[in-house]
Structure 1
Amino acid sequence: MKSILQTYLSRQTTSWLTQAYPVSSRLGMGVVIPCYNEPDLLACLRCLAKAEKPACDVEVLVVVNAPVDASPEAIAQNKKTLEEVSALAKEVNNEHFRIWFLDKILDSGKYAGVGLARRIGMDEMVYRFASIGNEKGLIISLDADCRVDANYFTALEKELYTNKKAIAATMDFEHPLPDAGVEPVLRNAMIQYELYLRYYKHSLKYTGFPYAYYTIGSDFAVKADTYCRAGGMGKYQGGEDFYFLQKVFPLGKIVEIHTTKVYPAARLSDRVPFGTGPSLIKLVGEDRNIKMTYPWKAFQWLCVFIEEREKWFKLPAEEITRMWRKTGRESGDGFETLPVSFLSFLKENRFAEVIEELGNNCASVEIFSRRFFDCFNALRVLQLLNALQEIYPLQPVSQETAYLLKEVYGVEVSADDPFYLLSRMKQYY
């Protein structure tokens, strides 16, 4: 009988898989790093080579890639990278730790980018784990501009690899900040961007949404069988980490590791359409240099909505809709019902009918309550927040973070100092 890893591979395009290196029977962790026109890779690899090693063997796979229409400068940098990786591998590789690479030219089109590069590397690790029968081997996602703590591998070993109940993990992260006297604008932009990431995650957690985890491509690990159950990494040019992790989170126990950190670079970059680099470019280029985000009031309404969900079990769509019109909360102005924009979003997406069908297919309210988030998932939440901008437009992230700290953690702080706000947010997981 085929293992889940073998079944997954049989359904994929496997032309990129290689048998260039024999697989150690003790292989337990595979770090996958996509790399395109990347001058800082060596520092990342040296950091991994110096890190404390776990009891299992570790491989680091660098997927050096470029689209067919890459610039001569990018091709030259990739060639230099390949030479540097080869030289470093000869220096640091040993019986239990190996750095190696794949050199891939990606066909032009919508899939020529970081998502496909990650997919190639992660499928390769599935292939290698399948060859030794290790369905629980870790596929670790990292970026070429990152640094990690010395206990990176041992923390993953303790909290995920040897944890039979856990299927995946996210790790704590921190963007190193540029010197205020040298690059004040970039420093301020980076502070606000990381504040935005933390504000959104904590706001989502406050609502009762069960999958309020960070979705950062350089900051997660997943067991090989879970990777396959989730259908593998998406091939998108950006946002591949978000979409992949949304498929992973409902599958089992997710561990948030706070005993080690990943340090993504705070730099301007246009390699991908989404993420740190493009966000920083946009922020630095704006006159106000202020990061905007979804307002705290929108998350408060989302919380009210989620808390009511069990009341809709086994009800017809018409009754669910009537209940929504009466759903609300007490405020300083009396009882307020769900905003019109909220109700319009639910109607336009025929969500009452979706909930009715879900209720009819669930044997208990407990199952219904859990499966509700299959329908009302992270993408749906984003769509709702965007729809609510009609009445709750985007606000400065410092201002909204101050509201969150006061309402959730009872901490009153000024919104005038983003750096201090960020330092306070780092205290809460």
Structure 2
Amino acid sequence: MDESRQINRLLESIEAQNYHNFKLFVCVNQPDDWWHVPEKIAICNDNAHSLEILKNHSGKSITLIDKSSPGEGWKGKHQGVGWARKTVMDAINAVASNNDLIVSIDADTWYPPGYLYSLAGNLLTNPDATAFAVPYYHKLTGEERADRAILRYEIYMRYYSLNLWRCNIPYRFTAIGSALAAPVWAYRRIGGITPHMSGEDFYFLLKLAKIGRVVTWNSEMAFPAARFSDRVLFGTGPAMIRGDGGDWSSYPFYDPKQFDLVSETFTSLYNAQNMPLQNQFIGFLNELFKTDDLFAPLRSNHSDRQRFIKACVERIDALRILQYLRLYGINRKLQEEDNLTSYLKDYFGITIPQNFSFNRSTVDQIDEIRNQLAGLESQYMEIEWNRTKN
């Protein structure tokens, strides 16, 4: 949607791939009624231009799905990025074999020439993987407002991920729709992707994580664009818009001690022969599920201990962990910079300037912190990849 300026760059990226055994599916999409909304006509015309570019492309053959021309667009509640991904993935599923790999891409993301080759190799190395959450990196734009916003958002994501890795908490993946892949057999096993209006990538990976292993390391990264966008309800673009306006309340640096509490719960679950320990996190879950004992019915239904643990991990999933952190994980006594600074020093021995500020420090200084977090995260991912690869 509204991507004609990005299409040619994407096609160049695809044509430059050094792995050629693939088919390209593209969905240009928008709500059909936008053709009758004056302020949306520019987007409609841009989508029409995108269709022409794709139809006239002389390179790799494209299976083009038109969900934007008059009469062809989304109708009613069936609209948004979730339906776009579902439409494309279902079309692939209809013609693919079980061992093929669905690689999700976006028009505003750059993929290095070895991207598809690296994923094909990763699949061969990890044939049991149910998904690949590919490492990502937002390139800076040179426009200060956008760069500050994307760096703050990416540091939030990497901070969250690092806490999951540090504490060995399940669901250690970052969901980015332009940087994920799944084998067709896994897509079929979960019944496909659920078309949420936003966050479909998160829920998709969550479903895939519950039937197997999500691989989080890859030798090549995806490079999503850093731009202000309100095309979805939440995600990178809306976060940048709100953050640029001074509102980062939805993306705080949660108290590391709350991650420790979640970790203790899972450790107790893995090691205890009877009930896991009772703590604030368990109390939150009992209240959430309106029960006095979350684990009792799971234990009744699963006499085998490993099956019981699996059922518990499926119940206490990434969404529940995030909900808990949103309720109990915000340390309001510290400024966000202080929380980040103390975290890096206490857990990784990294010292950043005392006067560091997302608003006042230079873009280069903020970028340096982003790169330090990215390096730490990559180390965790690669260690895990080497430990679990087949």
TM range (shorter): 0.7 to 0.9
Which residue of 59, 75, 78 corresponds with 2:44? 75
Quick one: which amino acid aligns to residue 344 of structure 2?
L
Q: 1:143 is paired with a residue of what secondary structure?
A: coil
1:352 and 1:74 map into 2 onto residues whose CA distance is 52
Which residue of 38, 50, 74 corresponds with 2:16? 50
More deviation in 350-359 or 260-269? 350-359
Deviations 1:275-310 (A, max 9, x none): 111000011112899963322232222222222224
1:260 is aligned to: 220
Which residue of 107, 116, 122 corresponds with 1:153? 116
Q: Is the 8 A contact 1:297 1:392 kept in 2?
A: no
User: 1:196: how far off?
Assistant: 0.9
Which residue of 309, 313, 316 corresponds with 2:269? 309
In the alignment, does 2:349 pair up with 1:410? yes
2:134 is aligned to: 171
Which residue of 104, 108, 116 corresponds with 2:83? 116
In the alignment, does 2:224 pair up with 1:273? no
1:380 is aligned to: 320
Q: 2:93 is paired with a residue of what secondary structure?
A: helix
User: 1:251: how far off?
Assistant: 1.8
Deviations 1:352-385 (A, max 9, x none): 5331111222233333333321110011111111
Q: Is the 8 A contact 1:176 1:265 kept in 2?
A: yes
1:396 and 1:150 map into 2 onto residues whose CA distance is 42
Q: 1:257 is paired with a residue of what secondary structure?
A: coil
Identity %: 27
Q: Is the 8 A contact 1:115 1:240 kept in 2?
A: yes
Deviations 1:40-87 (A, max 9, x none): 122112111112115xx2111110111022221111111100111122
Q: Is the 8 A contact 1:141 1:218 kept in 2?
A: yes
2:166 and 2:108 map into 1 onto residues whose CA distance is 32
Residues 385 and 52 (structure 1 numbering): CA distance in 2 closer, same or farther, change over 3 Å? same
Q: 1:136 is paired with a residue of what secondary structure?
A: coil
Superposed, which structure 2 residues align to 1:366-377 within 5 Å? 366-377=306-317
2:78 and 2:217 map into 1 onto residues whose CA distance is 31
Q: Is the 8 A contact 2:131 2:205 kept in 1?
A: no
Residues 257 and 225 (structure 1 numbering): CA distance in 2 closer, same or farther, change over 3 Å? same
Quick one: which amino acid aligns to residue 125 of structure 1?
I
Deviations 1:106-153 (A, max 9, x none): 434333111001101000001111xxxx20101111111000111001
Superposed, which structure 2 residues align to 1:313-352 within 5 Å? 314-315=274-275, 323-324=277-278, 338-339=279-280, 343-344=283-284, 346-350=286-290, 352=292
More deviation in 229-238 or 282-291? 282-291
Q: Is the 8 A contact 2:286 2:293 kept in 1?
A: no
Q: Is the 8 A contact 2:286 2:294 kept in 1?
A: no
Residues 107 and 289 (structure 1 numbering): CA distance in 2 closer, same or farther, change over 3 Å? closer
2:208 is aligned to: 248
Q: 1:418 is paired with a residue of what secondary structure?
A: helix
CA RMSD of aligned residues (A): 2.6
Segments of 5+ residues of structure 1 without an aligned counterpart are 1-34, 325-337
Q: How many residues align?
A: 359
Q: Which has the larger radius of gyration?
A: 1
Structure (1 or 2) with the greater strand fraction: 1
2:18 and 2:370 map into 1 onto residues whose CA distance is 29
Which residue of 39, 64, 70 corresponds with 1:101? 64
Q: Is the 8 A contact 1:160 1:255 kept in 2?
A: no
In the alignment, does 2:7 pair up with 1:41? yes
Which residue of 218, 223, 231 corresponds with 2:191? 231
Q: Is the 8 A contact 1:189 1:283 kept in 2?
A: yes
2:300 is aligned to: 360
In the alignment, does 2:193 pair up with 1:193? no
Q: Is the 8 A contact 2:285 2:294 kept in 1?
A: no
Quick one: which amino acid aligns to residue 178 of structure 2?
S
Which residue of 362, 374, 388 corresponds with 1:426? 374
Residues 397 and 247 (structure 1 numbering): CA distance in 2 closer, same or farther, change over 3 Å? farther
Superposed, which structure 2 residues align to 1:58-69 within 5 Å? 58-69=22-33
Quick one: which amino acid aligns to residue 113 of structure 1?
G
Q: 1:215 is paired with a residue of what secondary structure?
A: coil
Q: Is the 8 A contact 1:138 1:222 kept in 2?
A: yes
Deviations 1:192-251 (A, max 9, x none): 111111111111223332221111111111000101112211212111111111000122
User: 1:157: how far off?
Assistant: 1.1
After TM superposition, the score normalised by the length of structure 1 is 0.77
1:263 and 1:383 map into 2 onto residues whose CA distance is 28
2:381 is aligned to: none
Q: 1:140 is paired with a residue of what secondary structure?
A: strand
Segments of 5+ residues of structure 2 without an aligned counterpart are 35-39, 357-364, 379-390
